Amino acid sequence: MGRWVWSRAECGSSGDCLEEVSKSAVCARGPITDDLMCLKMMTFGLAKCTITGVDGHGPRDGGTPILLVAGAATGHLQANLQIAAAPPGGAREGSCHWSRTNSVNLSVLGADMLALLCLCVVLLVWWFSRPKKSPSTIPGPRPWPLIGSMHLLAGHETPFQAFTALSRVYGDIFSIHLGSASCVVVNNFKLIKEVLIAKGGDFGGRPDFARFHKLFGGDRNNSLALCDWSSLQKTRRSIARTYCSPRFTSLQYDRVNNVGEEELKSFLHQLDQLPHGQPCNVKPAVLMVCANMFTQYMCSTSFAYEDKGFQKIVRYFDEIFWEINQGYAVDFLPWLLPVYTGHMKKISNWATEIRQFILSRIIDKHRATLDTNSPPRDFTDALLMHLEEDPNMNWQHIIFELEDFLGGHSAIGNLVMVTLAAVVDHPEVAKRIQEEVDQVTGGTRCPNLFDKAAMPYTEATILETLRTASSPIVPHVASKDTEIDGHEVSKGTIVFINNYELNQGDAYWDEPGLFKPERFLSSTGNIVKPAHFIPFSTGKRTCIGQRLVQCFSFVVLATLLQYYDVSTKESVKVQPGCVAVPPDCFKLVLTPRK
């Protein structure tokens, strides 16, 4: 058979340009690629390319799924998407070039062509013999074989932007096949409330992605956020609610405030060690103060910033948070799993090391000093006591629940970083926050949680960051045959909640493309949150730790801006559609305020 290869000489300086995938297909991973996959299935392949240009075939958009049909006899390559041709004479600047070896085995040519013809006939028969939709069936695009309608997500920065565009064609509720998964997308607040609140019990499941299993010891039901709803899930949330959703007047709220004040001292000391007046990586310090706030509050334990084990675990938590916020073809095309073997092993190793750290340096310490005759000292004690009292709980449940909530610090650290990125682009916002914190504290102390009511603009800035970032709500899954707005929805259907439309739609916001914290302030300066603003979801599966996120992100952001002016010497771009930045993200310039 003919085969396509990348010419090593034309791939730039990368020493890892050629990668053997099979005896008849060769892929490249050079400096101009991001996540190139080359899969040979008979004569079909699915490639996810970030190629700036190839001879006669033009550029590939980053992350765009492209269906490739390779003819064995001629080696001809076709891309069945809208691909502009390259300039006459070859590829664009900086790209690699296709070259073809002259290794055509004529003895297998006839068999290959016959197999291709048979496969085409089978696909055509399947395409035209599918049952017609009934009036109650949800409208949506007709899927392609193998990839469903994944090609329709091309040309958009996030899938939810594509969903918004498709809703203009098919309506506020439409069906879409993503690979082998049957999905439904709901795009307005009325339908979203029906799914999350009115029929929350019908849609209590979560997608069964292989990545989720790898992150939680082989079973995603170990996770509170990614498990299907069950009586065990209800029990675990009940244990956590007192600690993860502290009421303003409760003793737990006082403890959250005290922990925040204490850890901010170490945070300021760490910031003081960074080089001032020049670009530096602020994210590790932000993540570590958030991590110590969580471990101190939930486990009565904190760690030195210089602790190598602590640094590594904080990094792994951040990697996993970024991972969960990404979408991969393998989520919907499980037959691609062999291509992702290395990636799956990597994320599994991260999660395993995190659990070993929690067990050896937190749980074992608590077990040795636990007094079951006294009230629990913290969340960890409460979990250990419940383990002894409830026969339905086991060690796995305890470890994974603690891991789940400790991992919430990554959400806070990333939210602070995304907010700082917005503040850098809008220095007038930073100035107003600084004026607010100076007025409230008098410049004599750090802000605390009880200052929150007197600092509405700072809180509004965080809310505006959540709106503009539009982090997706975790998809739900129908746990039984049910309906949405009178349309039939089969058990196992994945339901996407398009909160991007809720956060960015002209029907919901005035000038949604602008960063305006004051949109969350009333005429009297108080916080006002519209009903359709649900950054932490709503209903029975709302984020149980959202109050901690709002509390700790407030004091970290306010304290940092109280002591430093923040700027940058480079363009700061944050990926839309998630409140997350890569572990190695943009650098900021910290200048101490006088």
Tell me how far apart the alpha carbons of residues 220 and 181 are, in angstroms, rounded to a whole number.
18
Residue-level pLDDT at 390: 87
Instruction: Inform me whether the pLDDT recorded for 446 exceeds 60.
Output: yes
Q: Is the pTM of this model over 0.85?
A: no
Tell me how far apart the alpha carbons of residues 204 and 220 are, in angstroms, rounded to a whole number.
14
pLDDT single digits (tens) 94-149: 333 333 334 444 444 466 667 777 777 766 665 555 554 544 589 999 999 999 99
Strand duo 77-79 + 25-28: pairing: unpaired
Residues β-bridged to residue 388: none
Domain ranges of the chain: 191-592
Tell me how far apart the alpha carbons of residues 97 and 100 are, in angstroms, rounded to a whole number.
10
456 within 8 A of 521, measured Cβ to Cβ: yes
For 191-592, the fitting CATH number among 3.40.50.720, 1.10.630.10, 1.25.40.10, 3.40.50.10860 is 1.10.630.10
Is 543 within any annotated ligand binding site? yes
Give the percent of the chain with pLDDT over 90: 67
User: CA quadruple 205, 208, 213, 219: dihedral positive or negative?
Assistant: positive
Tell me the average pLDDT across 264-286.
96
396 within 8 A of 222, measured Cβ to Cβ: yes
Residue-level pLDDT at 112: 60
591 within 8 A of 277, measured Cβ to Cβ: yes
pLDDT single digits (tens) 35-58: 333 333 332 333 333 333 333 343
Residue-level pLDDT at 83: 30
Residue-level pLDDT at 96: 38
pLDDT single digits (tens) 133-190: 544 589 999 999 999 999 999 889 899 999 999 999 999 999 999 998 999 999 999 9
Instruction: Inform me whether the pLDDT recorded for 328 exceeds 60.
Output: yes
Phi, psi of 580 (to 5 degrees): -155, 145
**Which two tokens mark 286?**
């932000």
Instruction: Inform me whether the pLDDT recorded for 210 exceeds 50.
Output: yes
